[in-house]
Amino acid sequence: MRLPLELLIEKYQKNLFAAALNICANYDDAQDAVQETLIQYHLSDKEFQDEEHLKAWLLRVAINKAKDLSRSLFRRRCVPLEALREDIPFEDPADGRLFEDVMRLPEKYRIVIHLFYYEDLPVKEIAALLHIGESSVKMRLSRGRDLLKIMLTEESDNDRAGTVQAHI
């Protein structure tokens, strides 16, 4: 099974970009990773069993391309999270703050959280995509959630302290 490139772009571009952005933490590099992924698909003759297999292959390639870009000395540069927030509109400000917290997580937690919660992939598929064991995926999800909980608790405490200070 193969989909026409136009349909593939329409259907998966946002998912691929989000996965790449989780790795790169850089808007331009994430776009480059998606473009390289789509080029690799276009140039390959690979046949896919079904749409799930196709999506998993695309995500795996996008993640690998993003890792390659982020490791490149030429590409290494820091972009403030505020700049990323401007590129990705959030309807609810809380979603934007959660995005910032997720982006602060170490890469190994950030990517499994993205694949699990935003791509709705089961643990078994995430393990296959990342070439790690299912127990490692579960552990990374658990530790990532714990880190997020700590971040959110600290932010909440800081907000309350700021409110108290403003009233004093």
How many alpha carbons lie under 13 Å from residue 16 in its C-beta half-sphere?
A: 28
For CATH 1.10.1740, the residue range(s) in the chain are 1-88
Reported pTM: 0.69
Q: What is the pLDDT of residue 15?
A: 93
- Looking at the chain, the domain(s) classified CATH 1.10.10.10 span 90-168
Long-range contacts, stretch 139-143, CB < 8 angstroms, 24+ apart = 140/108, 140/109, 140/112, 141/109, 141/112, 141/113, 141/116, 143/109
Residue 34 pLDDT exceeds 60: yes
For the domain covering 90-168, report its CATH number: 1.10.10.10
Q: For residue 58, what are its two tokens?
A: 């695309």
Q: Which CATH class is domain 1-88?
A: mainly alpha
Model confidence at 36: pLDDT above 70 = yes
Higher pLDDT, 36 or 86: 36
pLDDT digits (tens, 9 = 90+) for 119-156: 899 999 999 999 999 999 999 999 999 999 998 888 77
